[in-house]
Structure 1
């Protein structure tokens, strides 16, 4: 679970208090901790900082950030700027420079600006999801600090899952399904009743069998980028003959998780095997070292 600290001025006005409450509700619904405070040094470590910046509080907030530099070094941070009654936004250059240079923080470039009209709950949810992904990536980077390129290369040589074997009543029908929905590629035959397919470097075998059934809860998972999850869900829905199932979602069909980061869709292949197509959730981004090691 990600922990955020929201730093605000000593006497937040009604507009600031409303925004703090709304961000707290959105964070709680997404499964994150969010602690609002006017005393940064008392909060201990956090995965990410959210600095609520008003024009008349810049100097005081800068002083607090200066005092807590060591505590929040190399931490994700973002600014939420509160415009005044004339719609003027507080300048952020000085604090951004302080955070990126003195504290060596990772400043999320897509800060939030609150004008006279409040942000909708959906807008706050989308913004926090983006910042949460950024924070989770920074958290994992901190965990990998000191890992050399050679160590990353060695990690890639460790044993890894190589293939799965799925069953099908008709090899041609099953091959066509995985080719048309996912772009899987036929590799070769292993005898007359089994073929080897490949999807983005992962082999899977399709074996012909006359009688079989999969137990409840049994499924395979295919991780994809969020836009690809949606694209595949649209392709499956447009097909009309593929059965959508609920899986871990609220109902059959494409859906987002509580963190508004993970998206998923569940459906059955021609022989009743449940296939889950999903994008990485926050917990995976912040804990799965392989997601970053593969990029080194």
Structure 2
């Protein structure tokens, strides 16, 4: 089994298409119809589907992995585009590029026009949390 795509509901397909393609650099693939578009990022199909009225759950987000320098470069790109960072689960409670005290994880969060939160990170932090017996790898 292979995970191949994500279908993201959006309030306005043209506004979201502009954001994801022109600002974030996702590759346009094709329209499936007037309200649904396929994009591609890093070999992953990313569908945008206009579906108002839209209700975004505050816990929903998706992440894009890169290097630590890649996170800092992305922060500079967001700043140049006028896209503000938002508060994520970093312990500072601030909208900022956060580096863990051990220097292993660098992360930032920002939102798309519909307030879907996007995480850009350098390391997932697999050494945190716990494994429930019977469910672990």
**1:200 Cα deviation from its structure 2 partner:** 0.9
Q: Larger radius of gyration, structure 1 or 2?
A: 1
CA distance in 1, matches of 2:125, 2:58: 27
- Counterpart among 57, 67, 74 of residue 215 in structure 1: 57
Q: How does 1:190-205 map to 2 (within 5 A)?
A: 190-205=32-47
CA distance in 1, matches of 2:119, 2:104: 16
Partners of 2:37 and 2:49 within 8 A in 1: yes
User: Structure 1 residues 228 and 195, CA, compared in 2 at 3 Å: closer, same or farther?
Assistant: same
Q: TM-score, normalised by structure 1?
A: 0.40
**1:282 Cα deviation from its structure 2 partner:** 5.6
Partners of 2:23 and 2:81 within 8 A in 1: no
Render the CA deviation track for 1:1-46: whole Å, top value 9, x for unaligned.
Answer: xxxxxxxxxxxxxxxxxxxxxxxxxxxxxxxxxxxxxxxxxxxxxx
Q: How does 1:46-61 map to 2 (within 5 A)?
A: none
Counterpart in 2 of 1:83? none
Equivalent position SS for 1:244: coil
- Counterpart among 148, 155, 174 of residue 16 in structure 2: 174
**1:182 Cα deviation from its structure 2 partner:** 3.1
| Larger RCO (CA under 8 A, 6+ residues apart) | 2
Moved over 6 A (4+): none
Partners of 1:226 and 1:279 within 8 A in 2: yes
* Mean CA deviation greater in 166-175 or 215-224: 166-175
Counterpart in 2 of 1:277? 120
Q: TM-score, normalised by structure 2?
A: 0.82
Is 1:161 aligned to residue 7 of structure 2? no
Partners of 1:259 and 1:282 within 8 A in 2: no
Equivalent position SS for 2:58: coil
CA distance in 1, matches of 2:30, 2:61: 24
Counterpart in 2 of 1:261? 104
CA distance in 2, matches of 1:282, 1:200: 21
**1:270 Cα deviation from its structure 2 partner:** 0.6
**1:260 Cα deviation from its structure 2 partner:** 0.6
Q: How does 1:1-296 map to 2 (within 5 A)?
A: 159-240=1-82, 242-249=83-90, 250=92, 251-281=94-124, 283=126
Counterpart in 2 of 1:75? none
CA distance in 2, matches of 1:283, 1:210: 36
CA distance in 2, matches of 1:248, 1:227: 20
CA RMSD of aligned residues (A): 1.7
Gaps of 5+ in 2: 128-137
Number of residue pairs the alignment of both structures matches: 125
